[in-house]
Chains A and B, each alone.
Chain A
Amino acid sequence: MQNVNKHFGDLHVLKNINLSIDKGEVVVLIGPSGSGKSTLCRTINRLETFETGTITIDGRTLPDEGKELANLRADVGMVFQSFNLFAHKTILENITLGPIKVRKTPKAEAEKKAMELLKRVGVEAQAQKYPAQLSGGQQQRVAIARSLAMNPKVMLFDEPTSALDPEMVNEVLDVMVGLAKDGMTMIVVTHEMGFARKAADRVVFLSDGEIVESNTPNEFFSNPTSTRAKDFLSKILTH
């Protein structure tokens, strides 16, 4: 993404963001609350509009509207903090909806693939249940499977574990570490330093809508260069 700028009214939330992510790279996005991490994530698949700049995914510039945008979104998986599983559909239907409606995959094939994905994230036993019958950790793993079912080129995670009870955090992080190992391109907003150290190739520190630092996890956590990053790290590490 090049020179991306976005305002909410008077608030300049994204200031001239330049960020390039390689295929297979795992980037962890961290920063104080309100720094624009979610907004940055959401502009990448245009759930939020932006005023200037360009975002290019696999050589294709993000279109403005309509069917082409929908097609591009299909290539970008997104996992939300609040899971957002379709409440009126079973777990299996949640996963097959995109493949059937967007990719035009035959139903039987989509279901077979869905069951494989559910197995991979460890919730195949829940396939016929509804989202409300699952625990938060299970729901989030289903949400990851739903994204994976579209064979995305890149996956965005916006604080995927922060709505979960502590004992469920690891089951979701394990799935994400597995994805990273398998070579998925990922952008992850998280405060889970363990995940960043284990799986990230790069940590990008965002503050007040600007990219302040971008470094390997080791360098970033042990030798932050900017005062804002030092400040931020001292706050989260003492907790």
Chain B
Amino acid sequence: MGEILARYDFVGAFWLTIQLSFWSALGALMIGTVLAVLRVSPVPVLRLLGTAYVNLIRNTPLTLLMVSSILGLSLILGLRLSNDVKTDAFLWAIVMLSVYHAAFVCEALRSGVNTIPAGQAEAARAIGLTFNQSLTEVLLPQAFRGSIAPLGSTLIALIKNSTVASVIGVSEAAGLMATIVENETGGVPVFFVFALGFVVLTLPLGVLFTSLSRRLAVKR
């Protein structure tokens, strides 16, 4: 067991998982925030756009998005993000993980927006804040605080979903595990080691987000 792990780059694979998750989480948060703004905007066309994105992306399997990025966008349409095949796959994985989880971030934020009483937005407008200022000063800060718990769940899901990147050849943790299980005997302990690896990544995050959501909750 130890000897197997010594021959493969166990730490390197998990490091890749962490990098993949970190950048995708950042991307998902940014795209998701924009989507949430679209979905609460007073302009019907923008709302429709946001709703269409969420429904389309949320109901498409991640594996499909992942494979179509590499086959469709990178290979067929030639949209290379890097000349190096490995880096190209890594970057596309980040893009697709971001795009996919943005839909969930958007919904988490929107549930946060829904916890804000209508009077908060009215008071913001009444002192002369523009729509954008009301959003950035009053609504979004309260929405983020109100949606920390579901955002945490989305992040944990994202970390585990990053394993899907192995289908396009990104050798993160699950990719390495598949390789080991294929080439070595005694796959079950290997499987447990990898499962434990993910628990070590996600469990503290869950605890952190629970305590954050309690500490930062907006008291009314």
**Chain A interface residues (CB < 8 Å from chain B):** 45, 47, 66-67, 70-78, 80, 82-88, 97-98, 101-102, 130, 132-133, 143, 146-147, 150
Q: Which chain A residue shows the least CB distance to B144?
A: A88
Asked if B128 and A74 make an inter-chain contact with CB atoms under 8 angstroms apart, the answer reads: yes
Q: Among the listed B126, B128, B142, B218, which residue makes an inter-chain contact with A71, where contact means beta carbons less than 8 Å apart?
A: B128
Total A-B Cβ pairs within 8 A: 74
When distances are taken between beta carbons in the complex, the residues of chain A under 8 Å from B167 are none
List B residues at the A interface (Cβ < 8 Å): 117, 119-120, 122-130, 133, 137-138, 141-142, 145, 218-220
- Alpha-carbon gap, A147 to B127, bound state (A): 7
Q: With A and B bound together, what is the CA distance between A150 and B141 in angstroms?
A: 23
**Complex Cα–Cα for A207 and B180 (A):** 81
Check A102–B129 contact: CB distance below 8 A.
Answer: yes
Chain A residue at smallest Cβ distance from B133? A101
Would A80 and B123 be within 8 Å (CB), given that A87-B218, A132-B220 are in contact?
Answer: yes
When chains A and B are docked, how far (Å) is the Cα of A130 from the Cα of B145?
15
Write the nearest CB–CB distance from B164 to chain A, whole angstroms. Answer: 36
When the two chains form the complex, which single residue of B122, B128, B129 contacts A84, counting CB atoms closer than 8 Å?
Answer: B122
Chain A residues within 8 Å of B117, by CB? 82, 84
Q: In the complex the two chains form, what is the Cα distance from A70 to B127 in whole Å?
A: 8
- B126 and A70 contacting across the interface, CB-CB below 8 Å: no
6 further interface pairs, Cβ-Cβ under 8 Å (given A80-B122, A132-B220): A71-B128, A75-B128, A76-B126, A84-B119, A88-B138, A88-B145
How far apart are the CA atoms of A76 and B133 in the complex, in Å?
18
Q: Contact between A85 and B127 (Cβ–Cβ < 8 Å)? A: no
Q: Can you identify 8 A-B contacts, CB atoms within 8 angstroms?
A: A47-B125, A73-B128, A74-B127, A84-B123, A88-B141, A97-B137, A132-B219, A132-B220
**Most chain A Cβ neighbours within 10 Å, of B119, B123, B126, B129:** B126
Shortest C-beta distance, A217 to chain B (Å), equals 27
Residues of B within 8 A of A133 (CB): 219
Are B129's CB and A98's CB within 8 A? yes
| Complex CA distance for A132 and B120, rounded to whole angstroms | 14
Q: How far is the CB of A101 from chain B (nearest CB, A)?
A: 5
Cβ of A87: which chain B residues have Cβ within 8 Å of it? 120, 142, 218-220
Q: Which of B124, B125, B128, B130 contacts A86 (CB 8 A)?
A: B124
Q: Which residues of B contact A88 (CB under 8 A)?
A: 138, 141-142, 145, 218
Please measure, in the bound complex, the distance between the C-alpha atom of A64 and the C-alpha atom of B141, giving whole angstroms. 28
| Contact (Cβ within 8 A) B127 A146 | yes
Q: Report the minimum CB–CB distance from B128 to chain A (whole Å).
A: 3
Within the assembled complex, what's the spacing in Å between the Cα atoms of A133 and B126? Answer: 23
Write out the residue numbers on chain B whose beta carbons fall within 8 Å of the beta carbon of A85: 123
Provide the residues of chain B in CB contact with A76, threshold 8 Å: 126
Report whether B126 and A78 are in contact in the complex, using a CB–CB cutoff of 8 Å: yes
CB neighbours (8 Å) of B127 from chain A are: 73-74, 97-98, 102, 146-147, 150
Chain B residues contacting A70 (CB-CB under 8 Å) are 125, 128-130
- Take A73-B128, A98-B127, A102-B129 as given contacts and tell me if A84 and B220 are in contact as well, using a CB distance cutoff of 8 Å: no
B219 to A130, Cβ gap below 8 A? Answer: yes
Chain B residues near A78 (CB-CB < 8 A): 123, 126
- Within the assembled complex, what's the spacing in Å between the Cα atoms of A76 and B126? 8
Tell me which residues across on chain A come within 8 A of B124, comparing CB atoms: 86
Q: How far is the CA of A75 from the CA of B218 in the complex (A)?
A: 29
A76 CA / B128 CA spacing, docked (Å): 9
Contacting pair B119 A82 (CB below 8 A): yes
CB distance from A46 to the nearest CB of B (A): 9
For A45, the chain B residues whose CB sits under 8 A away are 126
* A67 touching B123, Cβ below 8 Å: no
Contact present for B219 and A47 (CB under 8 Å): no
CA distance A102 to B142 in the complex (A): 20
> Complex: how many Å from CA A212 to CA B122?
29
Tell me the bound Cα distance from A84 to B128 in angstroms: 15
Considering the chains assembled together, what is the distance between the CA atoms of A143 and B133 in angstroms? 19
Q: How many angstroms between the C-alpha atoms of A83 and B122 in the bound complex?
A: 11
